[in-house]
Amino acid sequence: MYRIRFHGRGGQGMKTASRILGTAFFLEGYEVQDAPRYGAERRGAPIFAYVRADRAPINERGIIRHPDLVIVADDSLVPIPAAGVLAGITDHSLMLINSAEKEQVWKQRLNHSGSILTLPVAADVTERAELPYVGAACAGAAARLIGVISEAALEQAINDELSDLGADIVNKNLHNAVAAYRAMASHAGLVKEGSLVSAVDYEAPDWIDLPFDDARISAPTIHAAATSVLVKTGLWRTQRPVIDFDHCKGCWWICSSYCPDGAINVVDAKPVIDYDHCKGCMVCVAQCPSHAIEAIPEKQAKADEDAMRLEIGEIT
Amino acid sequence: MTDSSDTIRGIKDLPSTHLLGTGTPMCAGCGALEALHVIYDILGSKTVFVNAAGCMTLLSVYPFTPFRGSWLYTAMASAPAGAQGIRDALDILLQQKRITQEEDLEVVVLTGDGAAYGMGLSATSGSMERMLDYIYICYDNEGYGNTGQQYSAATPHAARTSTSHGVSGFAGYKKNLFDIWVAHKPAYVATVIGADPLDLAKKIEKARSMEGPRMIIALSPCPTGWDYDPRETVNIGRLAVKTGVWPLKEYADGEVVHTKIPRQRAPVEEYLKLQGRFAHLFEPERNEVLLAEIQARVDAYWEKVEVAEK
Amino acid sequence: MKRTLLTGNGAAAWAARLAAVDYIPAFPITPQTEIIETLADWIDTGEITGRLVTMESEHSMVTAAGSAAATGVRVFSATSSQGLLYAMEMLYTVSGWRAPFVLANVSRGLSAPITLEPDHNDILAARDSGFLQIHCASCQEVLDSTLMAYRLAEDERIRLPVIVNLDGFYLSFTREPVEIPDADAARQFVGSFDAENIRFRASAPESQAVAVLGGGPYSYFRYETHLAAINGAAVYDEIAEEFSRRFGRKHDAVEAYRADDADYLFVMMGSFASKAREAVDRLREDGWAIGLLRPRLLRPLPVVHLQKLLAKRKAVAVIDQNISMGMGGILHSELASVLYGRNDAPTVLASFIGGLGGRDISTEEFFEMAQSIRQAVETGQTPAPRLLYTQTELREVRKLQAIAQVERQQLGAIDD
CB contact under 8 A, C90 and B75: yes
In this complex, is the C-beta atom of A229 within 8 Å of any C-beta atom belonging to chain C?
A: no
Query: What's C255-392's CATH class?
Result: alpha beta
Mutate to test the interface with C, among B93, B97, B127 (most CBs of C within 10 A): B93
Which residues have CB under 8 Å from C60's CB, separation 6+?
Answer: B77, B78, B80, B81, B84, B122, B123, B126, C25, C27
% chain B with pLDDT above 70: 98
E strands, chain A, in order = 2-9, 31-37, 46-54, 69-72, 94-97, 116-118, 239-243, 264-267, 270-273, 293-297
Among A39, A214, A220, whose Cβ lies nearest the Cβ of C210? Answer: A220
CB C278 within 8 A of CB C244: no
Q: Residue B261 in 3-state DSSP?
A: coil
Would you give the distance in Å from CA C209 to the centre of its chain? 27
**CA distances (Å), C365 to each of B72, C51, C93, C267, C389, in order?**
52, 47, 41, 14, 10
In this complex, is the C-beta atom of A308 within 8 Å of any C-beta atom belonging to chain C?
A: no
**The model scores a pTM over 0.80:** yes
Which contacts of B252-256 are long-range, i.e. CB under 8 A and separated by 24 or more positions? B252/B187, B252/B188, B252/B189, B252/B206, B252/B210, B254/B185, B256/B182
Cis peptide before C112 (omega within 30 of 0): yes
Instruction: Give the model's pLDDT for residue C398.
Output: 95
Chain B partners (3+ C-beta pairs within 8 A): A, C
In this complex, is the C-beta atom of A219 within 8 Å of any C-beta atom belonging to chain C?
A: yes
Chain A partners (3+ C-beta pairs within 8 A): B, C
How long is chain A? 316
Q: What is the CATH number of domain A2-187?
A: 3.40.920.10
Cis peptide before C113 (omega within 30 of 0): yes
Q: How confident is the model at residue A111 (pLDDT cuts 50, 70, 90)?
A: confident
In this complex, is the C-beta atom of A266 within 8 Å of any C-beta atom belonging to chain B?
A: yes
* DSSP state, residue C264: E
Q: How confident is the model at residue A100 (pLDDT cuts 50, 70, 90)?
A: confident
Give the closest residue to B155 by CA, choosing from B138, B141, B137, B136: B141
CB B84 within 8 A of CB C25: yes
Give the closest residue to B159 by CA, choosing from B148, B173, B147, B145: B173
Q: How confident is the model at residue A74 (pLDDT cuts 50, 70, 90)?
A: confident
Instruction: Give the model's pLDDT for residue B4.
Output: 45
Closest CA–CA distance from residue B61 to any residue of chain A (Å):
8
Q: How confident is the model at residue A77 (pLDDT cuts 50, 70, 90)?
A: confident
What H or E segment, with its residue span, contains residue C298? strand C297-299
Among B12, B18, B58, whose Cβ lies nearest the Cβ of A262? Answer: B18
Domain map (residue ranges) of chain A: 2-187, 233-311
Q: Which residues of C touch B69 (CB under 8 A)?
A: 202, 205
Q: Which residues of B63-91 are buried (b: 16+ CB within 10 A; e: fewer)?
A: bbbbbbbbbbbbbbbbbbbbbbbbbbbbe
CB contact under 8 A, C208 and B72: yes
Q: How confident is the model at residue B6 (pLDDT cuts 50, 70, 90)?
A: low
Instruction: Give the model's pLDDT for residue A310.
Output: 76
Please tell me the least confidently modeled range out of B179-183, B278-282, C238-242, C405-409: C405-409
When pLDDT is averaged across residues C208-229 and rounded to a whole number, the result is 95
Burial (Cβ within 10 Å: 0-12, 13-18, ≥19) of residue A268: exposed
Give the closest residue to A98 by CA, choosing from A14, A175, A158, A212: A14
In this complex, is the C-beta atom of C220 within 8 Å of any C-beta atom belonging to chain B?
A: no
Top pLDDT among B15 and A290 is at A290
Instruction: Give the model's pLDDT for residue A309.
Output: 77
Nearest residue of A to residue B238 by CA position? A287
CB contact under 8 A, B231 and A283: yes
Q: Which residues of C touch B103 (CB under 8 A)?
A: 201-203
Residue B158 one-letter amino acid:
A
Mutate to test the interface with C, among A206, A209, A223 (most CBs of C within 10 A): A223
Please state at what angle helix C330-339 crosses helix C303-310, rounded to 10 degrees. 80
CB B26 within 8 A of CB B33: yes
**CA distances (Å), A46 to each of A141, A263, C311, in order?**
21, 20, 57
Instruction: Give the model's pLDDT for residue C249.
Output: 98
Give the closest residue to A226 by CA, choosing from B38, B3, B110, B22: B22
The listed range with the strongest mean pLDDT (A87-91, B79-83, C192-196) is: B79-83
Mean pLDDT taken over chain A? 89
Give the closest residue to C28 by CA, choosing from C48, C4, C7, C53: C53
Domain map (residue ranges) of chain C: 2-247, 255-392
Per-residue HEC secondary structure of C188-243 comes to HHHCCCCCCCCCCECCECCEECCECCCHHHHHHHHHHHHHHHHHHHHHHHHHHHHH
What is the rounded CA–CA span in Å between residue B213 and residue B193? 20
Q: Which residues of C touch B115 (CB under 8 A)?
A: none
What H or E segment, with its residue span, contains residue A287? helix A283-287
% chain A with pLDDT above 90: 61
Residue B31, Cβ neighbours under 10 Å: how many?
32
Sign of CA dihedral A72, A77, A81, A83: negative
Whether the per-residue pLDDT at A2 is higher than 70: the answer is yes
Domains C2-247 and C255-392 share a fold: yes
CB C191 within 8 A of CB C147: no
Instruction: Bin C266: left if φ > 0, else alpha if -120 < ψ < 50, else beta.
Output: beta
What is the rounded CA–CA span in Å between residue C96 and residue A219? 7
Q: Which residues of B196-208 are buried (b: 16+ CB within 10 A; e: fewer)?
A: bbbbbbbbbbbbb
Q: What is the CATH number of domain A233-311?
A: 3.30.70.20
Among B57, B70, B98, whose Cβ lies nearest the Cβ of C200? Answer: B70
In this complex, is the C-beta atom of B113 within 8 Å of any C-beta atom belonging to chain A?
A: no
Instruction: Give the model's pLDDT for residue A40.
Output: 57
% chain C with pLDDT above 90: 96
B20-47 per-position pLDDT tens digit: 999 999 999 999 999 999 999 999 999 9
What is the rounded CA–CA span in Å between residue A6 and residue A118? 14
What is the rounded CA–CA span in Å between residue C154 and residue C92? 18
C145-182 per-position pLDDT tens digit: 999 999 999 999 999 999 999 999 999 999 999 999 99
Q: How confident is the model at residue A39 (pLDDT cuts 50, 70, 90)?
A: low
Whether the per-residue pLDDT at B1 is higher than 50: the answer is no
Give me the CATH topology for the region B11-309.
Answer: Rossmann fold (3.40.50)
Domain C2-247 has CATH 3.40.50.970: yes
CB contact under 8 A, A280 and B224: no
C386-411 per-position pLDDT tens digit: 999 999 999 999 999 999 999 876 66
Whether the per-residue pLDDT at C239 is higher than 50: the answer is yes
CB contact under 8 A, C208 and A39: no
CB C317 within 8 A of CB C266: yes
In this complex, is the C-beta atom of B237 within 8 Å of any C-beta atom belonging to chain A?
A: no
* DSSP state, residue A219: S
C48-96 per-position pLDDT tens digit: 999 999 999 999 999 999 999 999 999 999 999 999 999 999 999 999 9
Cis peptide before A81 (omega within 30 of 0): no
What is the rounded CA–CA span in Å between residue C267 and residue B166? 61
CB contact under 8 A, B234 and A283: yes
When pLDDT is averaged across residues B119-142 and rounded to a whole number, the result is 98
When pLDDT is averaged across residues A212-227 and rounded to a whole number, the result is 96
What is the rounded CA–CA span in Å between residue A116 and residue B98? 65
Instruction: Give the model's pLDDT for residue A122.
Output: 52
CB contact under 8 A, C68 and B74: no
Which DSSP string corresponds to B73-122? E--SS-HHHHHHHHHHHHHHHHHTTSS-GGG--EEEEEEEHIIIIIITHH
Q: Which residues of A touch B38 (CB under 8 A)?
A: 257
What is the rounded CA–CA span in Å between residue B186 and residue C291? 62
Angle, vertex CA A10, rays to CA A6 and CA A14, nearest 5? 30
Mutate to test the interface with C, among A42, A209, A210, A218 (most CBs of C within 10 A): A218
CB contact under 8 A, A221 and C204: no
What is the rounded CA–CA span in Å between residue A99 and residue A137? 13
Instruction: Give the model's pLDDT for residue C416.
Output: 46
Whether the per-residue pLDDT at B2 is higher than 50: the answer is no
CB A262 within 8 A of CB A278: no
Instruction: Give the model's pLDDT for residue B3.
Output: 42
Give the closest residue to B122 by CA, choosing from B81, B84, B86: B81
A150-198 per-position pLDDT tens digit: 999 999 999 999 998 888 889 989 998 999 999 999 999 999 999 888 8
Q: Which residues of C touch B46 (CB under 8 A)?
A: 202
When pLDDT is averaged across residues C213-227 and rounded to a whole number, the result is 95
Instruction: Give the model's pLDDT for residue B272.
Output: 98
What is the rounded CA–CA span in Å between residue C245 and residue C233? 19
Q: Which residues of C touch B124 (CB under 8 A)?
A: none
Closest CA–CA distance from residue B283 to any residue of chain A (Å):
13
CB B220 within 8 A of CB B284: no
Give the closest residue to C108 by CA, choosing from C198, C55, C32: C32
What is the rounded CA–CA span in Å between residue B140 and residue B151? 12
A126-140 per-position pLDDT tens digit: 555 555 678 899 999
Closest CA–CA distance from residue A225 to any residue of chain C (Å):
6
Longest CA span, chain B: 68
Instruction: Give the model's pLDDT for residue B5.
Output: 47
* DSSP state, residue C314: S
Instruction: Give the model's pLDDT for residue B116.
Output: 98
Instruction: Give the model's pLDDT for residue A133.
Output: 75
